[in-house]
Structures are given as structure tokens and as C-alpha cells.
Structure 1
Amino acid sequence: MNGMQKKWLHRIVALLAALFLTVPLLAQTQPVQAAANDTSLADIKKKGTLVMGTSPDYPPYEFLVNNKPVGMDIDIAKQIAKDIGVKLVVKQMDFDALLVGIETHKIDMVLSAMTPTPARKQSVDFSNVYYNSGQSIIINKTDKNIYKNYKNFANKKVGAQTGSLQYDLVKKQIKGVKMTGLTKVTDLIIALKTHKIDGIATESAVATAYVKNNPDLMVLNHQFNLSETDSGSAIAFHKGSGTLVAAANKTIAKIKKNNLTEKYLADAGKSLKVNVADTSMWHYRSYFIKGVGYTLLISLIAVLIGVVLGTLLALSRLSHFLPLKWLATAYVEFIRGTPLMIQVMFLYFGLNIPALTAGVAGVAMNSGAYVAEYIRGGIDSVPKGQVEAARSLGLSYKDTMRYVILPQALKIIWPSLGNEFISLIKESSIVSVIGVTDLIYQLRLVQAATYKGIAPYAVAMVIYFILVFGLTRLLNFAERKMQHA
């Protein structure tokens, strides 16, 4: 590649990078209307749905029973939707992605035991506080003589949910603390029980729920020095949603007047008993079956699209039409140079694509870039004499590729393609970050429902092994057939 070609290649890569960085910013840049022109409530009524975002691993606020979201926050959201006169739609997301979902208009509100801190108020509007729970620390019972309050955790390892108020409280108020931030409380519980961390900072109601179902744990209540902004849960809305916030506040006032939060908490407690009545993995087999179905669906579609896309990219990179060659090269280099998780989140949040579509597209686009390199390498491995012989017989470039080069290249690259297919089954788990119900996502739901951490992981490992082992044998069989063809 000469200097001029390199120059153009760099320009194309820079253009693609700028596009990936600019589009989500444009998608997030929504004009904030003045109060007099606020139509947020009218827009919800016109749409007919109120989309709630939540992370359902936080009992008694939000969790799953029989794969359906329940809990106090769900009941509050239902009441708000009923009072407005619309249908409630619940979207499940990781906690640290909820505010991004608000800002990119994937959801209308966040009900997930979120504290209205000053930092959060800069990007979203909050309702009035609907419940005050307090802050606690979960510890192992064996450590009850070591830890009496949060000050005893100086220079110790403490875990908290990423993006939560508790994470900030621990960092600010415990001297020399070694922080561990995870997106799921269930993962923090596992870390605590395996002594990778010494305590978990979380809401008092949540701590109580987990400890009731884990007899080897205990709670240190009433921890940290709390200000008015460090306690209480509120509902987050788009910035400038004054009329919608007012409608939510009206419902919250009614709930408080009738003391409905206590009823909602009592109902949540009954639902928790349903989950722990039978915590065997066999009882939750439907969760895993659903996850396997989505994992195979995503992998299959991604493989088909990836192979087609990879072939087109490989042929484009081998083309003598320089603009096409440079564009294909820029795409391959850019996709291979950025994490798959970022690509999936960009498609979902930045381009406002539905979760399943974004997951499939992200995995397929990523796979296509790698498949392109396998195919290009396979084509280059075919002796040039084969091409010359085919052309001398009068075959066109298209027929030469179709009947001579690609069949031989396929035999050469089949092991590499097989490894890519196998990797897709495992790498597709990344789509769980945007709420797609693949095997990993369902695993986390089982953890939240049963309060068991290790058993769901063990089941998922066995399932992945069976899938990969079966596919490996099938690919090896196909390879032997090709070698004898």
C-alpha cells in the first residue's frame, strides 16, 4: 500500500470513528422544552403506554416471580399508569444503564429504588421521594465480632452496585476502602459468601430480604452519615418532563396518604416466599430453556449474516476498486479495534434499535469483520496457478471465484470458521447487558429469584459445554466430509 492509499485509509477510519462517536450524541441531544410548552404527560397519553426501566434483582423493590417483574416499585408504576390512563410496559436493564435509557428515550421513567442525588438531578428530573429505607451493610455471620459499623471497614474490601448511591457513600465515608463494583447484587452476595469482599453496602430493605434467605449472612443497620440527598427513593424522568412528574407526584401523594407502600411491601414479601419455596435448579428449568432458545437464535442469525457480510468484505478488500477496498478495510479494522459490548450498546442506545435486533446486529457485524479476514486469508492461500489456469480456460473472474477459488478456500479456513461459530455461542452472552433474555440474562434472574449464586452458574456452564461440544462434533464431521469430497 503506497503513501496515498494509506492516507485515504486513515481518513476513512477517522470518518467511521467520528460517525460512531457523533451519532449517539445527536441521538441524545433533545431540546429541553420550557415549562409552558411541556407536553410530556400529553405525549404519554397519546402514545398509550408508560415505559418503565428497572433492574429486577433488588427485592423487595423489584424482582421476578415466574419470569414476571413484581415488587413495590412495580406496584407503584402500575398505579401511576392507571391514574394517567395508559398501559404500563416494563423494560429490564442493568442498573447502571437506566439513566442512559432515560437520556436516549428508550424508557419514560426509572423506578428502581433510585436515590435523587444532586449529580443525577443534573441529567434527569425526579419525583418526590416515595419511600425511605436507610442504608445497611451485609456481612458474613462469622465476622459479627469484627464489624460493628461502617467505620470498621477501613482498609477493607467493600462491594456495592455500580452506579448506586451506596457505591459513592462507601468511597466517601470509609477510609482506605478497597471498592468492588458489580452490576448485580446477586454477584456481590457470591463475592461476600466466598470471602472475596468483607461487606456489601445496600438499601436496608434489600439487605433484609437477602439475609432472610441466606442464614449465613447478617445485617448492620443504620450505617453511614446520611444527608437528605443520601436517603429515599424517587422516580427519574426525562429532563423537562414537568407535567409527567406532577402526575407521578399526585399518585405518590395518594399512595402515602393511604399507606399503600406497606401493602406493596407485604405483597412483595409473599412473592419472595413463592420464589424460595422450591429453589432447585430443576424447578427453574423454564428460565434456562428460554435462555438457551434466545442464545441459539442469536448465534444462528449472527452466523448467517456474519458469513455473508464477511464474504462481501473479503471480496471488497481483494477488489481493485480502491474506494470499495478502503471502505471494507476501514470497517474491518474499526470493528476489530472496538469492544463488542460497546458496539451492542451503541446500536441499542445510540441508534435506538430494539434490544433483540441490536444484539443480533451487533454480534453479526462483529463476526463479519473476523470472518472477512478468515476468508481473505483462505483466498490468498489458494495457489495463483489455479487462478491462471481457470482464466486460461475462459472462466470469468466471477466464475473463477465461485467454482475454483472459494471451494478450495473454504476447506482451508473451515477450522477457523468453526472456531468463530463456537465463539459466537459464548460471545453472544454480551447481549445480556441491554436486557436480551439470553442464557446469561436468565441465569441472573434465577440467582435473584432463588438467592443462590453458584448453582445457576454451574447449570449454565454445563449447558454451554453441551452446546459447544455438540457443535464441535458436528463441525468436525463436516470437515471430514469436505476433506474426502
Structure 2
Amino acid sequence: MKKLKQLLILFTLLVTLFMPVSQIKAADNEGAATNSSQTTDDSLQKVKDKGTLVVGLSADYPPYEFTAKVDGKTKYVGIDIDLAKQFAKDMGVKLVIKNMNFDSLLVALETHKVDAVISGMNPTTERQKSVDFSNIYYTGGKYIVINKKDKTKYTTKDSFSGQTVGAQNGTLEYSLIQKQMDGAKVKGLAKLNNLILALQSGKVAGVLMEEATAKAYVQNNSNLYAFNSKVKVNTNETGTAIAFPKGSASLVAAANKTIADVKKADLIDQQYVPNAAQYMQTASKQNTMLNYWTYFAKGLEYTLLITVVAVFFGFILGVLLALMRLSNGKILHSLAVAYIEFIRGTPLMVQVMFVYFGVGAIIQSLPALVAGIIAVSLNSAAYVAEVIRSGIESIAIGQTEAARSLGLSQKQTYQYVVIPQAIKNIWPALGNEFITLIKESSIVSVIGVGDLMYQTQLVQSATYKGVMPLFITMLIYFVVTFTLSKVLNYFEGKMKHA
């Protein structure tokens, strides 16, 4: 009971420490909002001054935005990409693309990780409360994609009563299923290609999406069929628009000018859509997995980089936390306990997103890769600390007493007697943590880090295949972890005979 009380007091102190930061930030935001009404908006000038337009999107939404392999390199293509290029050109700046999950885009916008979101986004009334939208630049209906063998079974939106219908998380389609498809259950996933995979494996009966995207998938997959859902959509919400941070009047005006010019020249129908169709046809002809080996290689490179760096820093911090927890100092002990329990009590995905979007809102130049490494390192440290602590406590007290009686200091005792024996005892557990970290690092794909899982999703969207890229990724993970297990077992055997 006494320890619980101490932990509660410590947690209150930690919250108190962070409260002033949030209050100052809130006050700054409030002041900024007040001042913005009194001064001229400078959002456009800021983009011009830094020389880049950072656009957030989810590149799994053909023909709006998707990836294609051009000269062995990944290239973002589609209607939205061409529009983004024109928008950046009109402002005289360089276009920078940040690819992430659709349901993370508005968070990235509000935390200023991106300047704009151009991702087939509908300007719903709910979204307009949080962000500003440009004029609508493209309009299409809502179609339902089903397996072709079910085309006689599902003919209208009312046919799905008692069935599960899929939609991307955070989209208008998700709420439309809930509101207008009576009796149907909604299944939300972050990536559209995963929804198509769920459709083909029978997990959902249909997937609701934009007309152009539905036709794109059907055109490239003979096993799929699409029809007009005829769901009722507010006129202001039927099209797609560019999203900006709240109060970005000058950026919105610049975007509206670009959109007006694009519409006047009929570039979307005459140029952007044909370009997208050409890339889609090329992808369908070259959609063998062998053609995308560079994607998997690049993803593996990032995965190993994240793992090695995270293991290094996680081990150092873990040793420090273990010693703090074993110390007689109440403050150090309590801090270590609070950190370890908090990290182990929260999901790694939440930690990754907090570091990138939360801390990244203060340090806006924080790259996604660095944020991912920091989050994975901090998470690993908590588990490593417990492994090391258990190893140290497993050493008989007589070992320590004998070392001290021979004149060794406490530091020397730990350095030459306790730690070497503890490492031998905990080596298998440390090895397991290393292997687990390789697999768990796939979480960083949610913030757009190009690890193995991220590259797998790119291959899925580029080839319109769901199962095969996942199977190859599974094999790669298995080969890496199996090889590492053998190496760790080798060194474990060496320790036993030392």
C-alpha cells in the first residue's frame, strides 16, 4: 500500500511537470488565434520562405495517389500527385511527399508535420471544424467493390444487411456505412489494399470507396466487381478537396487559384486521369514480385537499421534503469519503477505516434525515422531493464560479499563480478528481446517510415496483390530472425564453456 501511494505521488509530480508545458502551449495557441484575427495570414509566405510544400497522403488510393516502379525506383503517381506538383510549381517551391495512414493525415496537419493534405479527402462538415478546405477539384460517386462471384447476391446497398462492409478508417465512407446501410456492420482498416485483401479472403462482403478508385481496382483485378452504391451524400461532401491547417487563408486562396486554372484547362480529365491510367496499366503488366525486390531490400535495410540502433540505445538506457531500480535511493528507484511500468503499460504504436506527433509538434523538424527509433529505443529500454534486474538479482549475495571482502569497491564488484555473471544468465532473454524488436519495429510504418512493412504495403498497392507480398515479407522476417537465433545460440554456447 505504501509503495502504491509513492507511485501515485510520483505520477502526480510527473503530470505536474508536464502541465506547464501544455498550458504554455495552449496559451500560445490561444494568443496566436487572437493575433491571427488581427494580422494578415502568413501561411503562404512561410511555405515560400522554406522553399518546400510538404504534402501528406496515403498512397494506396489509385487513381488519386499510388506508387509505381519507374527505372527501379518508387515514384508517387496519380491525380493528386499531379495536382500537388502543379500547386507547388505555382508557388515556386519544391514538392515533398509524406506517405502515411489516412487516419493519421489530419493529425499530421494539425501538428504541422505537413503543410497540406491532398489525398482524395472529402470536405465533410465534421472535418471543416478542425481544418480549412480548398474548393472541390474532383467529384465522383461512392461505389461498392465486391467479389465478382457475388455480383448476383449483392446488387444494392440494402443487400448487405447482416453482412460486414469495409471502409478506410477516418473516411466519409466509414460513416456512410454506419448511417445508410441498415443492418450492415462496418469494418475499418488503415490501408485500402488491406480491405481488398479482406474482401478476397471473405472477411468483408464489400468495400465502399470512391468511384474512380473502385474502377481502378476492378480494372486491374478480374475477380472483382463494382457498382454504384447510391448512398446519399451532402452536395458539399461529394467531391475531394485539399486540406490545410485552420486559419491558412492565404494558402487556401493559392490552392483555389491553382484548382481554377487546372479546371479551366481541363487538366484532370485530359491529362491527370490518363497519366494515372497509364501507370496502372504498366503496373499490371509488371506486377510480378521479382520486379519489386528492391522494395523489400530497402525495407529490410530500414528494419535492421531501426533494430540495431534501438537495441544499442535501449540496452544502455536499460542498464541505467535497472541500476536505478536496484539503488537504495528512493527517488531514483521510484523514477525507474514509474518509467518501466508506464512504458510496459502502454502500446508501442501509441508511443510511436506520440513521439512523432506529440513531441514532433514541438520539434517540427523531427524526421519520422528518428521518431521511430526514439520510440522503439525507449520501449525496449523498459523491458531490457527488467531482464537485467532479474539477472543481477539472480547472483548469490555471497558473490558480492566475497568481492567486497577482497577489497573491491561497489563499482568494481558490479563491473568484474556481478555483471559478467548476470549477462551469462540473461543472454537468452536479451536475445529474445532483440528478435522481438525486429518484428515489433514494423509498427513504425504507421508514421511513414520506410521499413519492411511499409514497403510491403507499397508493393500491395502497386501490384494490386494482397497475399503474395505478405507471404514474402513473412519469409524475410523468418530468415532474419532464424539466422539471428542461431548466432545468439552460438555465443550462448561459448559463454557456457567459458
- Band the TM-score falls in, shorter-chain normalisation: over 0.9
| Alignment partner of 1:104 is 2:111 | yes
CA distance in 2, matches of 1:18, 1:338: 20
Paired residue for 1:450? 463
CA distance in 1, matches of 2:413, 2:457: 51
Aligned pairs, number: 483
Paired residue for 1:476? 489
Paired residue for 2:363? none
Aligned with residue 69 of structure 1, among 62, 76, 80:
76
Q: Which amino acid aligns with 1:407?
A: P
Paired residue for 1:207? 214
Show CA shifts across 1:344-383 (max 9, x none).
1000000113200110111110000000001001101100
Paired residue for 1:266? 274
Shift of 1:36: 4.1
Taking a change above 3 Å as real, the CA distance of residues 15 and 356 of structure 1, as seen in their structure-2 partners, is farther
Show CA shifts across 1:74-112 (max 9, x none).
111111111111111111110000000000000000000
Classify the secondary structure of the residue corresponding to 2:375: helix
CA distance in 1, matches of 2:153, 2:67: 34
Q: Describe how 1:173-212 pairs up with structure 2 within 5 A.
A: 173-212=180-219
Structure 2: 5+ residue stretches without partners: 361-365
Q: Which amino acid aligns with 1:339?
A: P
CA distance in 2, matches of 1:254, 1:18: 52
CA distance in 2, matches of 1:36, 1:359: 37
| Alignment partner of 1:58 is 2:71 | no
Paired residue for 1:375? 388
Show CA shifts across 1:212-259 (max 9, x none).
111011111252112213300000001000011000000000000000
Structure 1: 5+ residue stretches without partners: none
Shift of 1:15: 3.9
Show CA shifts across 1:107-160 (max 9, x none).
000000000000000000000000001110001111111111112112211000
| Alignment partner of 1:431 is 2:444 | yes
Tell whether the 8 Å contact from 2:157 to 2:229 is kept in structure 1 after alignment. Answer: no
Taking a change above 3 Å as real, the CA distance of residues 468 and 209 of structure 1, as seen in their structure-2 partners, is same
Q: Describe how 1:25-424 pairs up with structure 2 within 5 A.
A: 30=29, 31-32=32-33, 33-34=36-37, 36-66=39-69, 67-221=74-228, 223-262=230-269, 263-352=271-360, 353-424=366-437
CA distance in 2, matches of 1:135, 1:314: 55
Classify the secondary structure of the residue corresponding to 2:232: coil
Taking a change above 3 Å as real, the CA distance of residues 27 and 359 of structure 1, as seen in their structure-2 partners, is farther
Classify the secondary structure of the residue corresponding to 2:434: helix
Classify the secondary structure of the residue corresponding to 2:291: coil
Classify the secondary structure of the residue corresponding to 2:481: helix
Q: Which amino acid aligns with 1:317?
A: R
CA distance in 1, matches of 2:379, 2:141: 44
Taking a change above 3 Å as real, the CA distance of residues 202 and 210 of structure 1, as seen in their structure-2 partners, is same
Query: TM-score of the superposition, structure 2-length normalised?
Result: 0.94
Taking a change above 3 Å as real, the CA distance of residues 334 and 457 of structure 1, as seen in their structure-2 partners, is same
Classify the secondary structure of the residue corresponding to 1:283: helix
Taking a change above 3 Å as real, the CA distance of residues 464 and 483 of structure 1, as seen in their structure-2 partners, is same
Classify the secondary structure of the residue corresponding to 2:130: coil
Tell whether the 8 Å contact from 2:339 to 2:382 is kept in structure 1 after alignment. Answer: yes
Taking a change above 3 Å as real, the CA distance of residues 293 and 39 of structure 1, as seen in their structure-2 partners, is same
Query: TM-score of the superposition, structure 1-length normalised?
Result: 0.97
Show CA shifts across 1:401-430 (max 9, x none).
000000011111111111100000000000
> What is the alpha-carbon root mean square deviation over aligned residues?
1.6
Shift of 1:280: 1.2
Tell whether the 8 Å contact from 2:132 to 2:245 is kept in structure 1 after alignment. Answer: yes
Taking a change above 3 Å as real, the CA distance of residues 27 and 287 of structure 1, as seen in their structure-2 partners, is farther
Taking a change above 3 Å as real, the CA distance of residues 18 and 450 of structure 1, as seen in their structure-2 partners, is farther
CA distance in 2, matches of 1:17, 1:379: 31
Shift of 1:46: 1.0
